Amino acid sequence: MTEPHVNRPLWINRGQNPIPDWLASHVADEREANGAFTIRSLVGKAEVMARVHVGHAVVVHRSVAYARPLAEKDELLFELEEMDRAAPAPAGPGKNVDKFCAAKTPAARGRAAGKAKQQERKRTYPEPLGDPPTIEWIKVDRLSIDAVYQRSTDNEASRRLIASIAANFDWRLCAPLVVSRRPDGTLSVIDGQHRTVAAKQRGDIPHMPCCVFNYQSPEEEARMFISANRARKPMNRLDDFHAALAAADEDALEINRLVTEAGLTITRNTASSAWKPGEIAFTASIASTLRKHGEQIVSAALTNIAEAFPDQKVVHSGSIFLGLVKVLTSPPEGFDPDRMFQALLRYSAEEWGSFVTGLKGGDTRATAIRDALLMAYEEVPAPAEDAT
């Protein structure tokens, strides 16, 4: 069937309906039992293998086949029309193309020159590496894991993780697996092995969403596995806290309330050099103290820090907080909170930090601060008793 230039043939994959002759030459493999198959296509200038699932529309334009979900059909046709409009128009018989394109008014030439300069200023990038993947739903029993480069799951930590994923499987947390389609047809999981094993264990999840790439060899797969894992930025404790806060987690909300009421804020930056006065980061210490000693102790310690160092960056605020907690939970005889606050004012935040320089371990540093606080407390004159 000859492809018309304007009214392009369009075919919709309904699962078992015949593939038309004009499309057959673009098909790269056998149609599967679920009706899906692969076509040779283009993304930009790159040749790719595109998956045609049931419900996808396929168009052939300028000898290239394109597939999209049916809902995106009009968008695809519009893109192809734009492609046609972008192609240079013929200048006409016997005319020089360069002269024809140059025959513009001075104003038009000015606009064209301005546009050219604007395009020159745009940042350019090298061509993307590799071919774009296909997005497919694949049966879990077809997915394999290459033990040569994958991390072993034969350990207690992995077994616990797999059991947790299986017991609490949530599609909202299931990102597509990264999979390699090898030349022999094997589908090897590069990223997502714990989810794969968990799905197989459950038995009620027959398919998994997969982002499928074509790698040249297992060695290339291993290189991509290393690159993907090294490129990941682990979620730090502050990222975790602010995510929990956005999710309205009860513990995070309570911690944030106590910190805010004391006049402090929880920073988003783990680098203490970037902190501002009034910012703290010791959310884990607050959480553990809240569980052990309750809201009153946490609030008192935070308020002391906020009021003692209002315009200072408190780099060692976590140690000062835990030192105060030790004093407040085991106070000396006749303890006076106001006298303790005066003791806290005897040194700057930086000077309090000098008491823990070189010490390792949170409890060791907290004990050093507690001892220094009690020494300073003894140096503050006790309030005179009222004469009767």
Residues 335 and 284 in one domain: yes
CATH number, domain of 142, equals 3.90.1530.10
Residues 225 and 139 reside in one and the same domain: yes
Mean pLDDT score, 293-297: 96
Widest Cα–Cα separation across the chain: 120
Q: Are residues 241 and 186 in the same domain?
A: no
Q: What is the pLDDT of residue 222?
A: 80
The string of pLDDT tens digits covering residues 247-266 is: 788 999 999 999 999 999 99
Higher pLDDT, 373 or 229: 373
Quote the crossing angle between the two packed helices 283-293 and 295-308, to the nearest 10°. 140
Q: Would you say 76 and 58 are in contact if contact means Cβ atoms under 8 Å apart?
A: no
Question: For residue range 335-370, what is the model confidence (pLDDT) as tens digits?
Answer: 999 999 999 999 999 999 999 988 998 899 999 999
In a shared domain, residues 254 and 362? yes
How confident is residue 109, by pLDDT bands cut at 50, 70 and 90?
low
pLDDT-wise least confident of 180-184, 296-300, 302-306: 180-184
Same-domain check for residues 69 and 18: yes
Once rounded to an integer, what is the mean pLDDT over residues 161-171? 94
Residues 198 and 250 in one domain: no
- Could you tell me if 216 and 255 lie in one domain? no
385 confidence band (pLDDT: 50, 70, 90): low
**Predicted pLDDT of residue 105:** 56
* Residue 263 counted as domain residue: yes
- Count the alpha carbons within 13 Å of 305 in the hemisphere toward its beta carbon: 35
Domain that includes residue 289, residue range: 237-379
In a domain, 200, yes or no: yes
Evaluate whether residue 385 is within a structural domain. Answer: no
| Residue 106 within a domain | no
- Could you give the percent of the chain with pLDDT greater than 90? 48
* Residue 120 within any structural domain of the chain: no
Q: Which position has the higher pLDDT, 295 or 120? A: 295
Q: What is the mean pLDDT of residues 302-311?
A: 95
CA distance 353 to 311: 16
Q: How confident is the model at residue 320 (pLDDT cuts 50, 70, 90)?
A: very high
pLDDT greater at residue 190 or residue 46: 190
What percent of the chain stands above pLDDT 70?
Answer: 86
Residue 202 shares a structural domain with residue 246:
no
pLDDT, the chain, mean: 84
In the structure, what pLDDT confidence band is assigned to residue 302 with cuts at 50, 70 and 90?
A: very high
Least confident of 240-244, 279-283, 295-299: 240-244
Name which of 169, 213, 168 is nearest 188 in CA terms: 213
| Domain C-terminal end among 231, 260, 291 | 231
Are 260 and 252 spatial neighbours (Cβ–Cβ below 8 Å)? Answer: no
How far apart CA 343 and CA 334 sit, in angstroms, is 15
Query: Side by side, which strands form the sheet with 207-213?
Result: 134-139, 207-213, 177-181, 187-191, 143-144
Confidence of residue 217 (pLDDT cuts 50, 70, 90): confident
The answer on pLDDT for 195 being more than 80 is yes
Domain boundary among 66, 86, 106: 86
Does 96 map to a domain?
A: no
Please give the Cα distance from 6 to 18 (Å, whole number). 24
- Whether 99 maps to a domain, the answer reads no
* Bigger pLDDT: 78 vs 187: 187
Tell whether 157 and 278 lie within a shared domain.
no
Which of 103-117, 224-238, 273-287, 373-387 is predicted with the least confidence, judged by mean pLDDT? 103-117
Residue ending a domain, among 231, 263, 293, is 231
58 domain-assigned: yes
Q: Is 223's pLDDT higher than 90?
A: no
- 360-365 long-range Cβ contacts below 8 angstroms, 24+ apart: 362/285, 362/318, 362/319, 362/322, 363/322, 365/316, 365/319, 365/322, 365/323
Q: What is the mean pLDDT of residues 88-102?
A: 46
Mean per-residue pLDDT for 76-103? Answer: 59
Q: Does pLDDT of 185 surpass 90? A: no
Length of the chain: 388
**Between these two residues, 77 and 324, which has the higher pLDDT value?**
324
Residues 60 and 194 in one domain: no
- Tell me, what's the pLDDT at 285? 95
Question: Phi and psi dihedrals of 160, rounded to 5?
Answer: -65, -40
**Top-confidence residue, 45 or 298:** 298
**Residues 198-207: pLDDT tens digits?**
999 999 999 9
pLDDT surpasses 50 at 97: no
Answer yes or no: do 226 and 262 share one domain.
no
Q: Does the pLDDT at position 232 exceed 90? A: no
Total domains in the chain come to: 3
One domain for residues 219 and 242: no
